[in-house]
């Protein structure tokens, strides 16, 4: 220890302090930092600092074969990896003109919605924990683990499923999987009243979360806010419905919206989406047995696979918002350029900086969790 | 939102007013526009103001060193038309300077900052061109094609030298490592060829 | 000001082979107690961290082993490196590691901490964690399941109880080696606020390899330290408000 | 939308309702790890019996985590595509994506349900693991993610080859196989996993992975360059090669092997001989002043000529017949190898500066001693142009002919009466060639096919390629298996047919050739002609008695050292007369002999300089 490092610093003669909120901070989601200037408890200025989880995905993908990237892509967003796989596969399929078999599309929907469910349960828990309530977090994580068991059974991996490949999916569902899925959904459904008691109708939480980090609809549009955060401002927009992909246009689901765009509304939207995901999954359970056919379109030998030159822009509704992938091929065996636009790259930087400015320091964590900002998606 | 025309038609009417823009229909909800660099900001303004393209989904940068150009792609979404427009433009790789569209689209702030640190393209008029991810990186902009990540890694890091018992046994019998992983990497083929040429 | 006498941090090194029976019993008791109350630093360095909440919460419940998360490095015993560490993170990890009180234990989980893992081609991540700090235990997987994490933690507990988890001593004994790798990656002006050499003397762990070329470089660049990156460029958020 | 109006019904007491959870059982799992799911992606398993060491897993591994390790105790078998390499996995890199499983051509790799491995810093070498069927810690946890039809990324189907229908091809000698078009060739080439087993199995070690890759990249010039590195008989080998490469192909372990022969054919067919010559160049054209004589213009002789000419030696090839080409021209029917394609090969070889003198019999027009005097080295590439006889009763009749003679006469267009019915003795490819050639002639002359093939072997151990048998049958040839020839029946000086006996066994207990027949099962096959296709030998009369005496022989074959040099230091021998009948072996032999001759000439030059 060097004593001089622990002497009082020459701070400006005021009660304003600059502090690092993160990266090693229990209130931060992932490995991310906010540098904030506080005046008492109030934050007067904030600046996001990312890059702690930077791995250079876009560069790495340019160095790997098209097929090799399927192992890499789920790592981009750890809590919600499935949309990454699907989006990448869809982009390659677009470039190659591959027709994905119906059954594969339904299986992808199954995977995506399971992943959304898992991510939302995780986010609830996180949001609750940042307001000092740890039980919902314990429950949310434990219930999510039941979904991870399903992932493990379906895809062979708990978190990183690596289930999609360009052309379709790698394995069909195991025997009786749908029954177990249905049972798990019933269980999660039955847990919702418990969550309501503990969280959504708990005045402690309601009062903390309301009016925290409000975003108006105009601001949301101005700042490129998407996903549940946008729907929490009252705009019913969902890529699944308005720019449909896979078989979402054959599925019935509502788009939950809330007002007025504060942390409370955002979390409520997620609760609504949880119900809708369960609803979609139940439709998948009903329809999937009737959809036969292959689960994968034939693809060339992955070691000698030149994807035709071109570009593809794929948009997907991930649990965090609009996820889009821009993939350029120069006709080679590796992607020429991949650009990943994670929804959190908006939410965790400019929007978060904007929202925490003026709030009290104890709300920073819950604003970040309520935005469901996912740092690995920002850093890539 | 009462729409006398199909979305695509409405868009094409607007685009008809802009000179020198090439329109390619890439799908039912995807339109590609190619436009000169100096006309792009005006085009974006028009798209936002007249066609409801209020959402800037992303700005992608593609490096084309052979053409000595960067390609900038602005992906815009209209909540009214449910239509995605990708406006492509090319700028010179050197000096790699372009104008910021932050005034039109605030999300551009993040993307321009990202492109600046990853490619070294400077956006004039952007509010913030400071590094965000690579604050502690002093190498060249890593996403440029000429930056060889693997070479850099090999210069800066060592790899594990495993000596498990089974390997020692095999070596004693005359076996052992025959093909190290690097020798047969398909993804490395093109790069080695270039090295040979250079 | 590096006169370390003012810090009463000296601990007597237990002589594991000798000493009288009372001190041996006392040492073993200490080690046993130490292994039954471990705090993991709450720092999600990489993607393997996603399996820690399940491991901590009801289903796999590592608290039954006496292990729970701790927010401050000063009170934490275990630094869990959950997968890849980007170079930017590694600096913070080094700061954190040096600030943790001894004895401290490092667990590297996932492939990435061993030989670069998936990101072995990446310019942004460090490849071998044991170049930069001594690692007591590795848990294989990408990422390891909570069960594997818990198995690993149980093994660490056994090692602590047996007095075998002494990686932290190595950091003091071979500080020059670790510092050299840090300097190779972070540049030769790399400084941390902790005076490791003085601590090494105090723990009685100062050895022939504590000092070397790299520590000389460290002293050469010694300057009044600024903490890392405390300047705020506050242009943008103000405009946000407007 | 919401079932509860949260904004109103909220209460600070609501959480208390969950106190009932204290009465519920805990959901905590036991401390011991659970069993992973049935398709879990845990540590690797590798079935060493199935694994052939092709290193495809290494190529698809995105993390460069796989090292191929040589295990000396395992057998190596290049002809069947087996190496003693096995993959070792670096768990400091692996991400358990299981692409190695999906792409393994043999299906030997799988992932287990084992997932716990921990170690301390000094045990870190345990992260580098050589998977075997037992599991990482010698404890079998069960197979997890394995190869199924769903996730198999190896395409087992080769591109179908267009062939002429039997009734279209039966009356003419047009080439049956159409060859791949560009798209088919690229798709077929893309199936290759570049393991190089073909290279190891090929007698002349052709760079098949390289030219297949070049074909896939649509760079045919590069493909031709790679092909000509090792084989100047590309057109010929692209059609009639025995393709040992395809036997060894690792994709062929579970599916159909890559059509390497057809790909070679596709690449060289894309160019004229002049273009090929421009692509491959003429080598080092500085004349060395050395002269080499080559007897016989078959694949062995001309390959050696090609190599030697490219090394700057003056090469003269002596051919007894009208046209160069040797056995490929006079022994292989035109419907399998069109003459213009053989001419293309020879044209490229001639363009290297090789002089070919046809109609020059050694011993008649020029003696071997003369060659010995005039040239610095002599290479014999005589081939096997004499048919063996069964020596059964009646086989000395004029209507009993040898298959090689039939084929040669057809090529040489020597007019001969076409028998209305014929019997072929033999079950090899030459027998098929003779039968199918006769079938075509019969169709042309008589309008109907009456050819019977009687083979010693049963169909399970047949010598001819299965496709030859199928095609021969399609063309109307009757093929009988397990029939041993007894006698050729001559009535009134006229050959009327062949009697055969049922074969009980071909080899005795010492695996020597000693066929046993069932005398009770005798059949008569009528035919105006009996063709013997039971093997060939070399016509070595040109050597002269003295030289024959000096040279070493074994079972009628000339003995040489590994490089084709005989016990006479000026004389080399190569090709079928040394190795037995096979085009690609002859090519390989030609290369070897050329290298040996070149070395000997260079040494001689050194000695000259020294003296």
Q: What is the CATH number of the domain that holds D334?
A: 3.50.50.60
Contacts of B179 in chain D (CB under 8 A): 55, 58, 67-68, 85
| Per-residue burial over D566-583, b = 16 or more CB atoms within 10 Å of its CB, e = otherwise | beeebbbbbbbbbbebbb
In tens, the pLDDT along D439-472 reads 888 888 888 888 888 888 888 888 888 888 888 8
| Per-residue burial over D387-421, b = 16 or more CB atoms within 10 Å of its CB, e = otherwise | bbebebebbebebbbbbbbbbbebbeeeeeebbbb
**Does B136 contact C233 at a Cβ distance shorter than 8 Å?**
no
Please spell the DSSP secondary structure of D162-192, one letter per residue. Answer: PB--HHHHTTS---SB----HHHHHHHHHT-
Cβ-proximal residues to D384 (8 Å cutoff; 6+ apart), any chain: D327, D404, D536, D537, D538, D576, D577, D580, D581
**Does C89 contact A45 at a Cβ distance shorter than 8 Å?**
no
Dist CA D381 CA A247 (whole Å): 69
Tokens of A354: 């904007």
**In a domain? residue D21:** no
Q: Do D361 and D390 reside in the same domain of the chain?
A: no
Tokens of B39: 């006309």
- Chain B, chain C: beta-carbon pairs less than 8 Å apart: 50
**Does A155 contact D39 at a Cβ distance shorter than 8 Å?**
yes
- Chain A, chain D: beta-carbon pairs less than 8 Å apart: 130
Read off the pLDDT of each residue in C209-238 and give the average, rounded to a whole number. Answer: 64
Dist CA A350 CA A337 (whole Å): 25
Please answer whether residues A296 and A165 qualify as being in contact, where contact means their C-beta atoms are separated by less than 8 angstroms: yes
Contacts of B110 in chain A (CB under 8 A): 345-346, 349-350
**Does D33 contact C145 at a Cβ distance shorter than 8 Å?**
yes
Q: Do D554 and D526 reside in the same domain of the chain?
A: no
Tokens of A366: 């819950």
**In a domain? residue D60:** yes
B103 to A85, B126, B127, D335: CA distances (angstroms) = 34, 8, 9, 75
**Does A50 contact B132 at a Cβ distance shorter than 8 Å?**
yes
Provide the pairing of β-strand D557-558 with D553-554.
antiparallel
**Does A243 contact B84 at a Cβ distance shorter than 8 Å?**
yes
Contacts of D4 in chain A (CB under 8 A): 196, 200-201
Helices (H), A39-101: 57-62, 69-72, 82-96
Name all contacts of C26-32 with Cβ < 8 Å and 24+ positions apart. C27/C163, C28/C163, C31/C160, C31/C161, C31/C162, C31/C163, C32/C161
Check if D92 contacts B (Cβ < 8 Å).
yes
Q: How far is A19 from chain C (nearest CA, A)?
A: 8
Domain ranges of chain B: 7-147, 152-197
Average pLDDT, chain D: 84
- Number of independent structural domains in chain A: 1
Please answer whether residues A83 and A323 qualify as being in contact, where contact means their C-beta atoms are separated by less than 8 angstroms: yes
Only one residue has tokens 């799908």, namely B27
Tokens of D35: 């069993």
Contacts of C59 in chain A (CB under 8 A): 141-142, 145
Q: Do D418 and D518 reside in the same domain of the chain?
A: yes
**Does C71 contact A141 at a Cβ distance shorter than 8 Å?**
no
Q: Which residue of B has its CA nearest to A222?
A: B106
**Does D130 contact B165 at a Cβ distance shorter than 8 Å?**
no
Last residue of a domain, one of D490, D515, D537: D537
**Does D90 contact C115 at a Cβ distance shorter than 8 Å?**
yes
Neighboring chains of A (3 or more beta-carbon pairs < 8 A): B, C, D
Residue D6: per-residue pLDDT: 59
Q: How far is C118 from chain B (nearest CA, A)?
A: 13
- Looking from the CA of A175 toward its CB, the CA atoms found within 13 Å total 1
Q: Indicate the pTM of the whole model.
A: 0.84
Q: Do D323 and D184 reside in the same domain of the chain?
A: no
In tens, the pLDDT along D154-183 reads 888 888 888 888 878 887 888 888 888 888
Contacts of A51 in chain B (CB under 8 A): 132-136
Interface test with C, best of B136, B143, B144, B191 (most C CBs within 10 A): B136
D164 to A143, D176, D241: CA distances (angstroms) = 65, 5, 20
From A175-189, C217-231, D519-533, D577-591, the region with the lowest mean pLDDT:
C217-231
Closest in D27, D36, D118 to C152, CB measured: D118
**Does A313 contact B84 at a Cβ distance shorter than 8 Å?**
yes
In tens, the pLDDT along D16-72 reads 877 888 888 888 888 888 888 888 988 999 888 888 888 888 888 888 888 888 888
Check if D40 contacts C (Cβ < 8 Å).
no
Residue A182: per-residue pLDDT: 92
**In a domain? residue A151:** yes
Domain with residue A239: its CATH number is 1.10.645.10
From B1-15, C195-209, D286-300, the region with the lowest mean pLDDT:
B1-15
| Residue C119 pLDDT greater than 80, yes or no | yes
User: Which domain range does residue D328 map to?
Assistant: 295-376+541-600
Q: Do D561 and D518 reside in the same domain of the chain?
A: no
Which CATH code fits C14-165?
3.40.50.12280
| Chain B residue set in contact with A, beta carbons under 8 Å | 29-30, 54-58, 60-63, 73, 75, 77, 79, 82, 84, 86, 105-107, 109-110, 114, 118, 132-136, 142-143, 147, 149-150, 186-188, 190
Please answer whether residues A32 and A367 qualify as being in contact, where contact means their C-beta atoms are separated by less than 8 angstroms: no
Residue A328: per-residue pLDDT: 92
Please answer whether residues A103 and A284 qualify as being in contact, where contact means their C-beta atoms are separated by less than 8 angstroms: no
> Any idea what DSSP says for residue C127?
S
Last residue of a domain, one of D537, D555, D577: D537
Residue B194: per-residue pLDDT: 40
Check if D37 contacts C (Cβ < 8 Å).
no
Contacts of D26 in chain C (CB under 8 A): 58
Q: Which residue of A has its CA nearest to B143?
A: A59
**Does D62 contact A153 at a Cβ distance shorter than 8 Å?**
no
| Residue D571 pLDDT greater than 70, yes or no | yes
Positions of CATH 3.40.50.12280 in chain C:
14-165
Contacts of C142 in chain A (CB under 8 A): 160
Closest in A350, A378, A379 to B109, CB measured: A350
Closest in B109, B130, B136 to C87, CB measured: B136
Residue C7: per-residue pLDDT: 43
Only one residue has tokens 């920002």, namely A378
Read off the pLDDT of each residue in D270-282 and give the average, rounded to a whole number. Answer: 85
How far is it between the farthest Cα atoms of chain A?
73
Domain with residue D66: its CATH number is 3.30.70.3270
**What's the pLDDT band for A336 if we cut at 50, 70, 90?**
very high
Q: Do D525 and D417 reside in the same domain of the chain?
A: yes
Residue A346: per-residue pLDDT: 86
- Number of independent structural domains in chain D: 4
Read off the pLDDT of each residue in A290-303 and give the average, rounded to a whole number. Answer: 85
Last residue of a domain, one of D522, D537, D552: D537
Please spell the DSSP secondary structure of chain B, one letter per residue. Answer: ---SS-HHHHHHHHHHTSSSEEEEEEETTEEEEEE-GGGHHHHHHHHHHHH---EEEEEEEEEEGGGTEEEEEEEEEETTTTEEEEEEEEEETTT-EEE--TTT-TTHHHHHHHHHHHH--EEET-S--S-SS-TT--SS-TTSTT--HHHHHHHH--------HHHHHHHHTT-EEEE-GGGG-GGGHHHHHHHHH-
Read off the pLDDT of each residue in D543-568 and give the average, rounded to a whole number. Answer: 79
Query: Quick one: CA torsion of D103, D104, D109, D115, rounded to 10 degrees?
Result: -20
**In a domain? residue D142:** no
Provide the pairing of β-strand C137-139 with C105-109.
parallel
| Per-residue burial over C157-179, b = 16 or more CB atoms within 10 Å of its CB, e = otherwise | bebbbebebbbbbbbbbbbbbbb
Dist CA B28 CA A245 (whole Å): 12
Closest in A48, A222, A242 to B106, CB measured: A222
Q: Do D342 and D318 reside in the same domain of the chain?
A: yes
**In a domain? residue D138:** no
Contacts of B82 in chain A (CB under 8 A): 242-243
Residue D35: per-residue pLDDT: 86
Is the model more confident about D520 or about A185?
A185
Q: Specify the 3-state DSSP secondary structure of C236.
A: helix
Contacts of C239 in chain B (CB under 8 A): 127
Check if D526 contacts B (Cβ < 8 Å).
no
**Does C117 contact D117 at a Cβ distance shorter than 8 Å?**
no
Dist CA C42 CA C79 (whole Å): 8
| Residue D359 pLDDT greater than 70, yes or no | yes
Interface test with B, best of C121, C140, C239 (most B CBs within 10 A): C121
Read off the pLDDT of each residue in D286-296 and give the average, rounded to a whole number. Answer: 84
Please spell the DSSP secondary structure of D304-329, one letter per residue. Answer: HHHHHHHTT-EEEEE-SSSSS--HHH
**What's the pLDDT band for D481 if we cut at 50, 70, 90?**
confident
| Residue C231 pLDDT greater than 60, yes or no | no
**In a domain? residue D25:** no
Check if D124 contacts B (Cβ < 8 Å).
yes
**Does D67 contact B179 at a Cβ distance shorter than 8 Å?**
yes
| Residue C9 pLDDT greater than 70, yes or no | no
- Chain A, chain B: beta-carbon pairs less than 8 Å apart: 98
**In a domain? residue D341:** yes
Q: For chain B, list residues with pLDDT below 50.
A: 1-4, 190-198
Average pLDDT, chain C: 80
Which CATH code fits B7-147?
3.30.460.80
Contacts of C116 in chain B (CB under 8 A): 153, 157, 159
Contacts of C92 in chain A (CB under 8 A): 23-24, 52
Contacts of B173 in chain D (CB under 8 A): 72-73
**In a domain? residue A330:** yes
- Chain C, chain D: beta-carbon pairs less than 8 Å apart: 95
Residue C8: per-residue pLDDT: 41
């Amino acid at each position: 220890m060097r004593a001089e490092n622990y002497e009082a610093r020459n701070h400006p003669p005021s009660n304003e302090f600059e502090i690092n909120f993160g990266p090693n901070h229990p209130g931060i989601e992932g490995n991310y930092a906010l540098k904030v200037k506080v005046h008492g408890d109030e934050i007067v200025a904030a600046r996001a600092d990312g890059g702690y989880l930077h791995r250079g995905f876009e560069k790495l993908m340019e160095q790997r074969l098209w097929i090799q990237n399927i192992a890499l892509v789920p790592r981009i967003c750890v809590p919600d990896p499935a949309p990454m796989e699907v989006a990448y596969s869809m982009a390659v399929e677009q470039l190659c003109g591959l027709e994905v078999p119906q059954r594969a599309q339904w299986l992808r929907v199954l995977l995506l919605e399971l992943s959304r469910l898992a991510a939302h349960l995780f986010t609830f828990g996180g949001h609750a924990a940042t307001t000092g309530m740890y039980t919902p977090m314990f429950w949310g994580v434990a219930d999510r683990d039941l979904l991870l068991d399903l992932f493990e059974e379906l895809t062979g991996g708990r978190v990183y499923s690596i289930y999609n490949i360009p052309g379709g999916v790698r394995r069909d569902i195991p025997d009786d999987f749908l029954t177990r899925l249905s049972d798990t959904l019933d269980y999660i459904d039955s847990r919702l009243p418990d969550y309501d008691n503990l969280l959504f109708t708990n005045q402690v939480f309601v009062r903390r979360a309301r009016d925290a980090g409000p975003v108006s609809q105009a601001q949301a549009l101005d700042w490129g806010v998407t996903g549940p955060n946008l729907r929490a401002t009252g705009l019913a927009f969902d890529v699944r419905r308005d720019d449909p992909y896979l078989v979402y246009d054959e599925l019935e689901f509502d788009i939950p919206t809330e007002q007025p765009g504060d942390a409370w509304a955002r979390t409520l939207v997620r609760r609504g989406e949880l119900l809708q995901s369960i609803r979609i999954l139940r439709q998948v359970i009903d329809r999937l047995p009737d959809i036969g056919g292959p689960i994968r379109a034939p693809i060339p030998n992955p070691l000698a696979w030149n994807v035709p030159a071109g570009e593809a822009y794929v948009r997907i509704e991930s649990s965090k918002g609009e996820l889009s992938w821009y993939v350029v091929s120069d006709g080679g065996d590796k992607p020429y350029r991949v650009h990943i636009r994670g929804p959190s790259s908006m939410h965790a930087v400019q929007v978060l900086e904007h929202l925490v400015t003026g709030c009290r320091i104890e709300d920073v964590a819950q604003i970040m969790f309520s935005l469901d900002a996912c740092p690995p998606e920002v850093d890539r | 939102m009462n729409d006398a025309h199909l979305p695509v038609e409405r868009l094409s009417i607007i685009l008809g007013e802009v000179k020198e823009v090439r329109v390619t229909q890439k799908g039912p909800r995807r339109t590609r526009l190619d436009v000169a660099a100096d006309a792009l900001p005006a085009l974006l303004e028009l798209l936002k103001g007249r066609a409801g393209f209020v959402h800037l989904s992303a700005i992608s940068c593609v490096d084309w060193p052979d053409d000595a150009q960067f390609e900038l792609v602005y992906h815009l979404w209209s909540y009214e038309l449910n239509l995605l427009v990708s406006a492509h433009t090319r700028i010179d790789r050197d000096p790699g300077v372009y104008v910021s569209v932050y005034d039109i689209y605030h999300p551009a702030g993040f993307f321009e900052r990202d492109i600046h640190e990853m490619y070294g393209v400077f956006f004039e008029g952007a509010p913030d061109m400071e590094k965000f991810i690579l604050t502690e990186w002093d190498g060249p902009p890593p996403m440029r094609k000429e930056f060889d990540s693997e070479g850099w890694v090999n210069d800066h890091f060592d790899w594990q030298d495993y000596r498990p018992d089974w390997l020692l046994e095999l070596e004693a019998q005359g076996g052992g490592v025959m093909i190290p992983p690097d020798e047969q990497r398909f993804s490395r083929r093109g790069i080695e060829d270039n090295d040979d040429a250079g | 000001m590096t006169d370390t006498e003012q810090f009463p941090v000296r601990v007597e090194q237990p002589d594991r082979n000798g000493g009288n029976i009372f001190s041996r019993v006392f040492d073993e008791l200490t080690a046993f107690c130490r292994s039954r109350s471990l705090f993991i630093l709450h720092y999600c360095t990489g993607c393997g961290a996603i399996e820690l909440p399940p491991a901590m919460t009801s289903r796999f419940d590592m608290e039954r082993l006496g292990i729970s998360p701790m927010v401050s490095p000063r009170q934490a015993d275990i630094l869990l490196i959950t997968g890849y560490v980007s170079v930017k993170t590694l600096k913070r990890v080094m700061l954190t590691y040096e600030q943790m009180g001894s004895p401290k234990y490092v667990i590297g989980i996932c492939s990435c901490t061993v030989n670069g893992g998936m990101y072995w081609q990446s310019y942004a991540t460090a490849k071998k964690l044991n170049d930069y700090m001594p690692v007591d235990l590795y848990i294989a997987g990408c990422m390891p399941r909570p069960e594997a994490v818990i198995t690993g933690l149980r093994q660490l507990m056994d090692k602590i109880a047996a007095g075998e988890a002494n990686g932290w001593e190595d950091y003091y004994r071979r500080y020059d080696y670790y510092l050299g790798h840090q300097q190779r990656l972070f540049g030769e002006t790399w400084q941390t606020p902790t005076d490791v050499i003085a601590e090494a003397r105090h723990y009685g762990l100062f050895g022939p390899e504590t000092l070397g070329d790299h520590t000389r470089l460290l002293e050469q660049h010694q300057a009044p330290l600024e903490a890392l990156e405390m300047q705020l460029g506050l242009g943008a958020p103000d405009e946000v408000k407007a | 939308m919401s079932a509860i109006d949260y904004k109103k019904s909220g209460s600070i007491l609501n959480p208390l309702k969950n106190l009932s959870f204290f009465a519920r059982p805990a959901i905590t799992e036991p401390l011991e790890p659970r069993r992973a799911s049935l398709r879990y992606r845990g540590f690797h398993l590798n079935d060493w019996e199935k694994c052939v060491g092709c290193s495809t897993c290494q190529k698809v591994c995105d993390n460069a985590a796989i090292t191929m390790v040589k295990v000396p105790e395992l057998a190596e078998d290049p002809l069947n595509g087996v190496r003693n390499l096995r993959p070792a996995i670096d768990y400091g890199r692996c991400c358990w994506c299981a692409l190695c499983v999906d792409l393994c051509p043999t299906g030997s790799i799988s992932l287990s349900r084992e997932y716990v491995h921990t170690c301390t810093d000094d045990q870190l070498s345990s992260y580098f693991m050589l998977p075997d069927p037992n599991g990482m810690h010698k404890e079998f946890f069960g197979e997890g993610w394995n190869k199924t039809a769903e996730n198999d990324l190896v395409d087992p189907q080769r591109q179908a080859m267009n062939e002429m229908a039997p009734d279209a091809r039966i009356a003419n000698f047009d080439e049956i196989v159409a060859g791949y078009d560009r798209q088919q060739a690229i798709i077929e080439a893309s199936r290759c996993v570049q393991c190089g087993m073909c290279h190891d199995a090929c007698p002349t070690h052709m760079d098949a992975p390289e030219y297949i890759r070049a074909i896939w990249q649509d760079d045919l010039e590069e493909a031709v360059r790679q092909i000509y590195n090792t084989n100047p008989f590309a057109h010929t080998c692209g059609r009639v090669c025995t393709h040992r490469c395809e036997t060894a192909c690792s994709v062929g372990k579970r599916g159909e092997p890559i059509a390497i022969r057809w790909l070679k054919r596709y690449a060289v067919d894309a160019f004229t001989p002049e273009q090929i010559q421009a692509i491959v160049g003429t080598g080092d054209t500085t004349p060395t002043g050395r002269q080499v004589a080559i007897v016989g213009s078959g694949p062995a002789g001309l390959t050696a000529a090609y190599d030697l000419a490219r090394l700057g030696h003056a090469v003269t090839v002596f051919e007894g017949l009208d046209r160069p080409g040797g056995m490929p021209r006079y022994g292989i029917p035109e419907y399998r190898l069109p003459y213009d394609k053989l001419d293309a090969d020879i044209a490229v070889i001639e363009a290297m500066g090789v002089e070919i003198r046809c109609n020059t019999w050694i011993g008649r027009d020029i003696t071997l001693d003369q060659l010995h005097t005039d040239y610095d080295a002599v290479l014999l590439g005589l081939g096997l142009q004499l048919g063996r006889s069964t020596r059964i009763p009646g086989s000395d009749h004029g209507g009993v002919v040898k298959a090689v003679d039939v084929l040669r006469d057809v090529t040489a267009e020597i007019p001969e009466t076409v028998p209305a019915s014929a019997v072929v003795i033999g079950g090899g490819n030459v027998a098929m060639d003779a039968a199918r050639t006769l079938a075509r002639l019969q169709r042309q002359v008589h309008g109907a096919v009456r050819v019977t093939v009687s083979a010693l072997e049963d169909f399970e151990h047949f010598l001819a390629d299965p496709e030859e048998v199928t095609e021969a049958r399609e063309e109307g040839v009757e093929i009988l298996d397990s029939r041993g020839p007894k006698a050729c029946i001559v009535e009134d000086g006229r050959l009327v047919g062949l009697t055969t006996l049922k074969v009980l066994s071909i080899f005795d207990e010492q695996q020597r050739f000693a066929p046993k027949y069932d005398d009770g099962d005798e059949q008569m096959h009528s035919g105006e002609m009996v063709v013997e296709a039971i093997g060939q030998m070399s016509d070595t009369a040109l050597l002269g008695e003295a030289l024959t005496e000096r040279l070493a022989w074994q079972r009628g074959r000339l003995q040489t050292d590994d490089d084709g040099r005989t016990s006479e230091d000026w004389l080399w021998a190569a090709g079928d007369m040394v190795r037995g009948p096979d085009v690609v072996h002859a090519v390989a032999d030609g290369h070897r002999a050329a290298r040996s001759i070149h070395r000997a000439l260079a040494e001689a030059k050194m000695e000259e300089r020294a003296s």
